[in-house]
Chains A and B, each alone.
Chain A
C-alpha cells in the first residue's frame, strides 16, 4: 500500500516578536521562533504510520512518504520523520506558495500524480494562509474522493474505516481507495523514537525538488489584526457581586456592535450575488448558476461549503477565497479580508469577478438565496426567497454507523453562548458551565484546548478549527485568548471574559472582563439563577 502525507511546518507563532508581526511578510526570517508540524498535519503523520504498522501486521508492505511545499524544511523535522518510519521525505521547494493554495495543490499534485498513492492524508488546514482549500483542490486534481474531518482511520479489506465528525454527528464510515483524507481534531500525536534510531538518521536530508513554475505571486497585503475592544474590568466586593455584575453585562447591549461577514454591506444593483447554504447539491446549483451567471457566489464557510465553493470555482473559473469577510463590493470585484498566520494577521485583497467566497455570519443586503424550485426569472427579480434545504452532497461511503449524535446544545441560533477554555481545569467544571448555559438559554462551546482535554465534543469547538459564532453575547470562561480562538468569536456582539490572569490576551478582545477564578464564578452565577 502506498500512503502519502502532505504536511506543513509552521513557525511557533507565539514566539514571534511584536515588532516582527508589524513588519510581517511571507519571506520574513523567523527561524528564531523555531518550527513545528502544524497540529492537524502532525495527527495525519501519526495516523499514516499507524496504517503502515497495521498493513505490516496483515503482511502488507506499505510505502509511506511525506511531502511539503515551502521555502525550506528544517533538518531536525526531516530527520524526525525518517526516524519515525517515513520512507521518503520530500520538499517541493517553492518561495511563492504561502498564500496561493492552488499553487500548493499543483506542486503536491506534481509530486503525487505519477506515484499512484492509494491514500493521501493531509491536515484539514495548515500554513500561513490557513485556507483549508488545499485538501479539496488536491483531491480534485488527483480525481479521488475527499474524506473530510477525520479523527481516526484504520484499514479494512475494502479500503479504510474513518471516524468522521460532521454536523450530523460522529460517524464511522468505510470508504474504498484511492482517497484523500483530511484530518481534523484528532487526538493522534506523532510518536517519539528511541535514541539509536534517531541518531541513525542524523544528517539524512529530505529530497528537494526545485520549483519549475515561476512564481508571479504578489506580496500579500498583511496587517496586524486590529483589536477593537478593550475590556472594561468589573469590580465588586465579592464573588456574588461579581456574578451579578456579569449577568448584568450579559443583558446589556454593546455600545457598538462589530460587523459580521456581510453586515452593513449593500450590494450594488449591477452586481449579481447568489448565496447558498452548504447543504446545496452541486448538480442543482449548476442548473441555477448556469441560468443566472452570478458575479459573486457566497457559501457558508464549512467543510462542505468549501468543497462546494471549489466545485463551483473549478466549473466556472471563478476566483476563490475561503473564510472571507466582505469589506466592500466594488465595480470589478469584492474587497475581502481573511485572518491568516494563526489569526494574528489580516490579509486584505480585491477578488475580481466572477468570484466565489466562503464566509461566515450574516449575508450582505441584496443577496439572493438559492431555492430548489425557483425559476431563473424569479431569481433575476432579486426578491428575497426563503431558503429551502436541498439534499446534502452525497458521500461515497460503502457503509456508515452513527457513533454519536450531534451535541444537542447548538452553537448557532442562540442569543448567547457560554465558552469554556482550558482554564476551567476539569470536565466537572465545564459541566457546571454547561448547566449555566442551559439556565441562561445559551449555547455551549469549548476552545480546541478544552475539547482535546476530553471536556466536550469536537463539534463544540469554537475557533478556526471549529465553529465561528456570532450571538449577541458570549461568556468566555478560562480561555487565554489565542488567535485561533479569537477568530471564532470576533463577530460576537458583546464578549464577557473571565480569567485569573489580568494580562490574559482575552481581555484585549473582550468588552467586559473579570479577573477571578472561573469555576467559582460559574458556581456563583448558578446560585443566582
Chain B
C-alpha cells in the first residue's frame, strides 16, 4: 500500500457527484482493515486531515477533499461471499464493494439486498457512511438495518468487530466493543439530522451509519440478504392535475398503512422532473428505452409491489388502480409491467433523474465546478403535497427551473434547482435556506439519507442548535481519543 502524491491521473478523485471539486496532497488505496487502520493511526499521529472515499457517487460532497490525504476504499472489496446461518442468508463484503456486484451475486442465489439504493456504482461503505436508503426503504427501512455485523476502524486505528445486538444505547449510554462506555446527554430538542445522536434502544451499528467518516470507517460488512419475492410488479401513474395526484397519494399512504407488506416503493416526479426527462431523453441511455410520457402529464408516481403470493399481489394492484381512478386518474395514464427484467426501464427512469440533474444545469462555474443545488430534506409525511407545492411555486416565482422527485410517502424529496447564471445560483442558495427554515419549523430533518457532506455544512452551521453541535463534537472527540 503506497501513498502517492496527487497528480492529474487522480483528477477524478478530487470530486464527486455533488459537482464540487477539491484538492489534496496525496492519496492512498488500502486493501484491508489492517491497512486502513494503519492509515488512520498515522494520520491522527501526524495531524493529517483525511477524506475517506468510496466510489464518489455522493450528492453532498462528502468525498470532496480539502487538502491532506485522500483515503479511497475502492480496493477494499473483500471476498464477497454468501453464507447461511440460522436459516438466514448473509454476504460478507469489503467497504469498497459496489452495490452492483453485491446485487449481482445475491441475485445468482435468488436473494437481494433489501433497501436497494438507486446508484448501483456506489460502494457499500459509502452508502453506510451517508446513512443511505433507497426506494426500497419504504418497506425495508434504511440500509444499516441490513448490516448484521461490521468491522469498524476508529480514527485512532483501533478495530472493532461489532455484531448487531451486542451494543445497544440505553439511557444515553452504550458499552463499546473495547469495554469503554460512551455517554451521550439527552438533547432538549430533537436532532435536525437522521444520524449522529443516538436514540433509545438504538444499535451501535445504526448509530455509526451516517457518521460520514467523523467516527471512523467500516472496513468490512456482513449484510443480511432476503429471498427475492416471487412476484414483483411496477406501475407508473401519470396525473393530469395536482389535485388528482394529491388525492391519490393520500389514499395510497392510508392503503400502505393497512397493507405494509406489499408496497415496496412509491417514488414521485413532478412536472419539472417530467419535462427535464423529456428534454434529455434522446441523450440519456437510461431514458431512451421509455416511450414518450402521456401528453399533459404534470406529475407521476412510480410504485413497486411485491409479494410471495400472486393472488395477494393481483388484489393489491387492482385496489391501487381503484384508488387512482377514484382520485380522478385515467386508466390509459398508467404503465405497468411485471418481473424484474420488465421493471428495469422504470427503475432506470428513477435513476435517471438524479443523473441528469447533475449535468442539466446550464451554468458552470470556473474550474468546471457545477455544484448541485438540491434539497434532500425529510418533512412530515402528511405535508408531502405542501412541500411539493412550496418547492415548485418558490422556484417558479424566481424564474428558476426546478425538478422535484423522491420518496413520496416519506416526504423525502429532492428539489433540484437548475440555475443558469451566477445570479440564479445565489437565488437558489437562498431558496435552500428558506426551505431549511420550513423543515426546521415542521420538526423535519435537514440531513437524512445522503449525508451532509460539504454542501450542507453551511446549513448545519446555521440551523443546528449549539447544544447539538457541542454533543456531536464530544462524541467525535471520544472516538478520536487514543486509548
Interface centre among A76, A80, A514, A520 (most CB of B within 10 A): A76
> Contacts of A502 on B, CB cut-off 8 Å?
12, 74
Selected A-B contacts with CB under 8 Å, 7 pairs = A12-B341, A17-B108, A189-B289, A195-B334, A242-B8, A453-B288, A503-B74
B338 lies within 8 A of A241 (CB): no
- For chain A, the bracket of interface size reads 35 or more
A198 lies within 8 A of B107 (CB): no
* CB proximity to B under 8 Å, residues A137-163: none
- Stretch in A30-38, A317-325, A431-439 touching the partner: A30-38
A74-B341, A515-B12 known; A199+B336 contact, CB < 8 A = yes
Q: Is A20 among interface residues, defined by CB-CB distance under 8 A?
A: yes
> Contacts of B25 on A, CB cut-off 8 Å?
none
- Stretch in A64-72, A231-239, A464-472 touching the partner: A231-239
Q: Is A425 among interface residues, defined by CB-CB distance under 8 A?
A: yes
* CB proximity to A under 8 Å, residues B201-237: 235-236
**A426 to B337 Cα, complex, angstroms:** 31
**A399 to B7 Cα, complex, angstroms:** 60
Query: B303 CB to closest chain A CB, in angstroms?
Result: 10
> Contacts of B235 on A, CB cut-off 8 Å?
195
CB-CB nearest 10 A-B residue pairs: A76-B339, A192-B335, A34-B341, A195-B336, A198-B336, A195-B334, A235-B9, A453-B283, A194-B334, A32-B108
Q: Which of B107, B337, B368 is the one whose CB lies under 8 Å from A80? A: B337
Q: Is B318 among interface residues, defined by CB-CB distance under 8 A?
A: yes
> Contacts of A196 on B, CB cut-off 8 Å?
321, 331, 334
**A427 to B476 Cα, complex, angstroms:** 48
> Contacts of A15 on B, CB cut-off 8 Å?
104, 107
A517 lies within 8 A of B290 (CB): no
Q: Is A113 among interface residues, defined by CB-CB distance under 8 A?
A: no
Binary interface encoding of chain A residues 413-444 relative to chain B, with 1 for a CB under 8 A from any of its CBs, else 0: 00000000010011100000000000000000
CB-CB nearest in chain B for A455? B283
Query: A493 CB to closest chain B CB, in angstroms?
Result: 24
> Contacts of B334 on A, CB cut-off 8 Å?
194-196
Q: Is B426 among interface residues, defined by CB-CB distance under 8 A?
A: no
* CB proximity to B under 8 Å, residues A226-262: 233-239, 241-242
B290 lies within 8 A of A189 (CB): yes
CB-CB nearest in chain A for B75? A503
> Contacts of A520 on B, CB cut-off 8 Å?
368
A192 lies within 8 A of B8 (CB): no
Interface centre among A36, A192, A198 (most CB of B within 10 A): A192
Q: Is B284 among interface residues, defined by CB-CB distance under 8 A?
A: yes
> Contacts of B337 on A, CB cut-off 8 Å?
76, 80, 192-193, 198
B341 lies within 8 A of A501 (CB): no
A76 lies within 8 A of B341 (CB): yes
Query: B364 CB to closest chain A CB, in angstroms?
Result: 11
**A107 to B134 Cα, complex, angstroms:** 45
> Contacts of A32 on B, CB cut-off 8 Å?
107-110
A32-B110, A453-B282 known; A192+B10 contact, CB < 8 A = no
Additional 17 contacts, C-beta under 8 A, given A20-B108, A76-B337, A238-B8 = A17-B104, A33-B108, A34-B107, A74-B341, A79-B338, A191-B291, A193-B336, A194-B334, A195-B235, A195-B321, A195-B335, A196-B321, A198-B336, A235-B9, A236-B8, A453-B283, A515-B10
Query: B167 CB to closest chain A CB, in angstroms?
Result: 35
Q: Is A452 among interface residues, defined by CB-CB distance under 8 A?
A: yes
Query: B285 CB to closest chain A CB, in angstroms?
Result: 5
Q: Is B314 among interface residues, defined by CB-CB distance under 8 A?
A: yes
A36-B344, A194-B332 known; A237+B8 contact, CB < 8 A = yes
> Contacts of A75 on B, CB cut-off 8 Å?
339
B314 lies within 8 A of A236 (CB): no
A192 lies within 8 A of B283 (CB): no
* CB proximity to A under 8 Å, residues B87-105: 104-105
Interface centre among A199, A425, A516 (most CB of B within 10 A): A199
> Contacts of B333 on A, CB cut-off 8 Å?
194
CB-CB nearest in chain A for B235? A195
A74-B341, A195-B336, A199-B318 known; A235+B8 contact, CB < 8 A = yes
A15-B104, A76-B339, A195-B336 known; A516+B368 contact, CB < 8 A = no
Q: Is B477 among interface residues, defined by CB-CB distance under 8 A?
A: no
**A237 to B11 Cα, complex, angstroms:** 10
Binary interface encoding of chain B residues 1-24 relative to chain A, with 1 for a CB under 8 A from any of its CBs, else 0: 000000111111000000000000
**A425 to B358 Cα, complex, angstroms:** 11
Residues of B that sit less than 8 Å from A by CB:
7-12, 74, 104-105, 107-110, 235-236, 282-285, 288-291, 314, 317-318, 321, 331-342, 344, 359, 368
A15-B104, A80-B342 known; A517+B368 contact, CB < 8 A = yes
Q: Which of B7, B105, B285, B291 is the one whose CB lies under 8 Å from A17? A: B105
Query: A251 CB to closest chain B CB, in angstroms?
Result: 20
B335 lies within 8 A of A202 (CB): no
> Contacts of A33 on B, CB cut-off 8 Å?
107-108
**A517 to B11 Cα, complex, angstroms:** 8
A500-B12, A516-B11 known; A453+B284 contact, CB < 8 A = yes
CB-CB nearest in chain A for B103? A15
Interface centre among A17, A75, A453 (most CB of B within 10 A): A453
B7 lies within 8 A of A199 (CB): no
Q: Is A392 among interface residues, defined by CB-CB distance under 8 A?
A: no
**A425 to B361 Cα, complex, angstroms:** 13
Query: B447 CB to closest chain A CB, in angstroms?
Result: 27
A195 lies within 8 A of B317 (CB): yes
**A33 to B331 Cα, complex, angstroms:** 32
CB-CB nearest in chain B for A17? B108
**A193 to B333 Cα, complex, angstroms:** 9
**A241 to B342 Cα, complex, angstroms:** 47
B12 lies within 8 A of A516 (CB): yes
A194-B332, A501-B12, A503-B74 known; A237+B338 contact, CB < 8 A = no
B288 lies within 8 A of A194 (CB): no
> Contacts of A514 on B, CB cut-off 8 Å?
9
Q: Is A328 among interface residues, defined by CB-CB distance under 8 A?
A: no
Query: A519 CB to closest chain B CB, in angstroms?
Result: 9
**A239 to B8 Cα, complex, angstroms:** 7
Q: Is A220 among interface residues, defined by CB-CB distance under 8 A?
A: no
CB-CB nearest in chain B for A502? B12
B288 lies within 8 A of A189 (CB): yes
**A74 to B344 Cα, complex, angstroms:** 15
Query: A239 CB to closest chain B CB, in angstroms?
Result: 6
> Contacts of B12 on A, CB cut-off 8 Å?
500-502, 515-517
> Contacts of B8 on A, CB cut-off 8 Å?
235-239, 241-242, 516
Q: Is A281 among interface residues, defined by CB-CB distance under 8 A?
A: no
